[in-house]
Structure 1
Amino acid sequence: MTLPSKTSDLRVALFSGNYNMVTDGANKALNRLVSYLLAQGAQVRVYSPTVDAPAFEPAGDLISLPSFAIPGRAEYRVATGLPRAVRRDLEAFAPNIVHVSSPDPSAHRAVTWARAKGLPVLGSVHTRFDTYPRYYNLAWVEPILTAILRRFYRRCDGLVAPSESMAQVLREQRMNYDISLWSRGVDRHIFDASRRDMAWRRSLGIEDHEVVVGLFSRLVMEKGLDVFADTIDQLVARGVPHRVLIVGDGPAREWFENRLPSNAVFAGYQAGTDLGRAVASMDVLFFPSITETFGNVTLEAMACSLPVVCAEATGSESLVDNGNSGRLIRPGHVHAFAQAVRGYIEDAALRAAHGAAGEARSRDFSWDRINQSVADTYLRLIRQKARVGK
C-alpha cells in the first residue's frame, strides 16, 4: 500500500461521542477539522451517536452509532459499540488512520479494530473527564476513571491536546508519551470588539455606566457555577457596583438563576454574530472552570478585547498572561477571584490595557494553521506505523 504523503491522501475514520447533538467547543472544533480536511481533498467518515433534532448540520458523512442517553444529562449520549453494519461500513471506507475523540465503548472497540488492521490511532482530548465526578459528590470515582482513561489513551499511537498545560497533565498522568498540540482558533468575523452594542445592553436593562461581569458557557455545574456565584456574593457584600450577564443555557440554568442576585441578566443561548455581540458587550469575563482543556471561552473573550479572570488550570493558563492580559487565580479561591474581578470593575484603564493585550495574543490562533497541524500528525503517525510494521 502506498503511504499517504500529503493531506489529500488521507482517509480518516473519526469517532465522536457527540458530533453535532450539542453546540460546545469540542463539537465545533471537530466539525471545523472535518470541514478543513475535506477542503484539502482528504476523505473523512464520521461515526457518532445521532438524534432526531441535532443542534446543527454536521460536516462530512455521518454514520450513526447505537447509544443511550446519559441519566440526568439526556442531551448527551454514550455510544455503546460497533455493530456489524458499522464494521462493514468501516471496511468499505478503508481508512488509513482512525481518530477517536471520546473514550466511550464504541471508541474502545474502534481502537481494537484499528490495531487488528495495523492502522494507527490518534486520540484527541477535549475535556477533563477525570474532574467531572467531584461536581456530583463522587470524587472517590476519580482514580478509577483516571485508570480507565489511561488504558484507553495508551492504546492509541498518539494523542493531541488543545494546550501545552493539558499536554503536561496528560504526561504526568502517564496517558501516553506521544502528545502533540491541536490548539483552537477563534473566528474573528464573530468575536471582535467592534461588535459591542450598547443599545443591546440597554434592551436588557443594563445602563451604559454599569460594568458588566460576564460568563458565556453551557450552564452545567462542572463549569464552576458555584464558585462564580460565591464570588459575586462577595462583590455584593463589599458594595462593589456591577451587573452580571450570563449567556448560555443548560441543565443548571434554574439553579444558577436562583443562586445569583435578582438583577443578574440571563440572555439565554446565543450563536454566531449574536454571540459575538453578547461577548463584546461585556466588560470583564469571569470564568472559574477547571475542566477546560483549552479555554475556547477565554480565547473568544480575549478576541473581543475583554480582560479575563480565570482559574489557574489547564487551558486558560496557556492563554492568559497573568497580570498582563488577565488574572489567573488558584481554583476555588473565592476571595482572590473577588479581588481580581473587583480590580477590573474599579479601574477602567486597567480593563482597557489588559483587554488590548489579550486581543493581541488572540491573533496567534489561526484555524487553518491549527487544523493542518492535526493533518500533519495523521501523516506522521501513518509513517511511524509503517516503519514499525516492517
Structure 2
Amino acid sequence: MHTSDLRIALFSGNYNYVRDGANQALNRLVGYLLSQGASVRIYSPTVENPAFEATGDLVSVPSMAIPFRPEYRIPLSLSRSVRRDLEAFNPNIVHIASPDRVSRKAVKWAKKQNLPVLCSVHTRFETYFRYYNMSFIEPVVEAWIRRLYRKCDALVAPSESFAQVLRQQRMNYDIDIWSRGVDRGIFNPGRRDMEWRRGLGMSDDIPVIGFLGRLVMEKGLDVFSDTIDQLKRRNVPHQVLVIGDGPARAWFESRIPDAKFAGFQVGADLGRAVASMDVFFNPSVTEAFGNVTLESMACGLPVVAAKATGSQSLVEDKVSGRLITPGAINQYADALQAYCVNADLRAEHGSAGERRSHDYSWDAINQTVADTYLRLIRQHAARAIAAR
C-alpha cells in the first residue's frame, strides 16, 4: 500500500473559519497528501466568510457559536447527510483533530466500520481554563479528553516534549511526532525592513520586543504585560511590537499603551513584521509546538519563551534563546534585559536559532503523517487476520 492509496476522512473543529497554527498545519497536510495522490475529505464547521480558502473538499457539519467566544464554533452532530457523505467517500482511515462531540461520533463510526483512527493533538486544551479562573475544571477536562484519546489507535503530537506530557497523562501509548515546518521564503532575516518599522514610529537604535499570535488570554498576555512593566521599572530601553488580533486586543492595548499594534498580518507582510523585531517573547504554555517561535527563529531572532511543551523542543536555553519557568516575571525580565542591552548576544543567539530552523521541512514532516496512516492500516489488517 502506498500514500496514493489512502482515503482519509479528516474531522476538525476549525479547519479554516478562524486562522490559527493548527488549522494551517492541517491545510498544509491535506495539500501535501493530495499532491501525493491520496484522497481526503474534511468534515468541519463552516461560516459564510472564512479566514482563508480551504484546501481540499470540505463538508460542513452542524455547529453553533461558542458563548462569549462567538468567533469559534462547537461541532454538534454527525448528521444524517454527513454520515451519508462519509459512507459514500468510503475512507480507509479516520483522522480526528479536536476532542469535540463530532470527533467522538466519528471514532464510534470508525470502530463500527473496523477502520483505524489517528488523532492529531494540537494544543493543551485542558490548560485553557487557567486563564479564566476555572483551573479547578482542568482534571475533569483531562479525564474527558483521555477517554477519547485512548479509543484512538495512535496519536501524533507536534513535539517530543508534548508527546511526553501525553504519555505521562496516560492519553495513549502509541504516539508519533508530527512536527511543523517553516516557509523560509517568507520567514528569513532578509525580510527585515527598518523603513517599515520606522513607519510605525519605532526607533532604529532601541531594541524591539515582539509578540506574535492571536490576542486571547490563554496566550499569556498577562505575563507578557507584567514583564514589560518590570522592564519599565528597571529603565531598560525597549520598544514593543504586537502582531495579531483577537477579542483581548482592547485589554492588551490598555495594559501596554506604549506598544505598537500592527494588527493581523499574513504572508510576506507577516515575515517582514517578524524579521523587523529584535527579540521574540512567547510566554504561552498552551501551545503544543509553537509555530510562531519557529517562525521567529527562522527570522534570526533570539527567543524568550516559557519552559513548556513546544518551546522546549525548539529553543536551546542559552544558545538560541532562554527558557523560563512559566509565570516567573522577574526571570522573564532578566532574560529580556540581557538581550536589550547586549546586541552581540542578540546576534549570536539569533543566528543559532536561524540555523536550527533549517531542520524543519514541510514535505518531510507531512510524509511522517502519511507513513503513520499506512502503518495503522497495516496493523489493523494484521489484527483482523489474526482474529479470524
Fold shared, TM-score > 0.5 on shorter chain: yes
Equivalent residue number for residue 358 of structure 1: 353
Secondary structure, aligned partner of 2:99: coil
Which among 100, 103, 106 is matched to residue 110 of structure 1?
106
Letter in 2 for 1:269: F
Q: Is 2:200 the counterpart of 1:199? A: no
User: How big is the shift at 1:81?
Assistant: 1.2
Equivalent residue number for residue 45 of structure 1: 41
CA distance in 2, matches of 1:384, 1:144: 32
* Matching of residues 1-390 of structure 1 within 5 Å: 5-260=1-256, 262-390=257-385
Secondary structure, aligned partner of 1:267: strand
Letter in 1 for 2:49: A
Secondary structure, aligned partner of 1:115: helix
After superposition, what is the alpha-carbon deviation per residue over 1:131-181, rounded to whole angstroms, capped at 9, x for unaligned? 001100101110100000000000000000000000000000000000000
CA distance in 2, matches of 1:256, 1:27: 25
Secondary structure, aligned partner of 1:257: helix
User: How big is the shift at 1:263?
Assistant: 2.0
CA distance in 2, matches of 1:26, 1:263: 31
Letter in 2 for 1:371: N
CA distance in 2, matches of 1:313, 1:332: 11
Secondary structure, aligned partner of 2:9: strand
For structure 2, list consecutive stretches of 5 or more residues without a partner in the other structure.
none
Identity between Structure 1 and Structure 2 (%): 67
Q: RMSD between aligned alpha carbons?
A: 0.4
Letter in 2 for 1:308: V
Letter in 2 for 1:339: D
Secondary structure, aligned partner of 2:186: coil
Letter in 2 for 1:310: A
CA distance in 2, matches of 1:373, 1:355: 29
For structure 1, list consecutive stretches of 5 or more residues without a partner in the other structure.
none
Secondary structure, aligned partner of 2:8: strand
Letter in 2 for 1:6: H
CA distance in 2, matches of 1:121, 1:78: 21
Letter in 2 for 1:57: E
CA distance in 2, matches of 1:71, 1:359: 41
User: How big is the shift at 1:388?
Assistant: 1.1
After superposition, what is the alpha-carbon deviation per residue over 1:85-110, rounded to whole angstroms, capped at 9, x for unaligned? 11111110000000000011000000
CA distance in 1, matches of 2:76, 2:382: 33
Aligned length: 385
CA distance in 2, matches of 1:65, 1:172: 33
User: How big is the shift at 1:60?
Assistant: 0.2
CA distance in 1, matches of 2:68, 2:336: 33
CA distance in 2, matches of 1:389, 1:147: 30
CA distance in 2, matches of 1:88, 1:22: 27
TM-score when scaled to structure 2? 0.99
Secondary structure, aligned partner of 1:235: helix
Letter in 1 for 2:5: D
User: How big is the shift at 1:389?
Assistant: 1.2
After superposition, what is the alpha-carbon deviation per residue over 1:31-67, rounded to whole angstroms, capped at 9, x for unaligned? 0000000000000000000000100000000000000
Letter in 2 for 1:381: L
Letter in 1 for 2:28: R
CA distance in 1, matches of 2:123, 2:292: 13
Secondary structure, aligned partner of 1:109: helix
Letter in 2 for 1:119: L
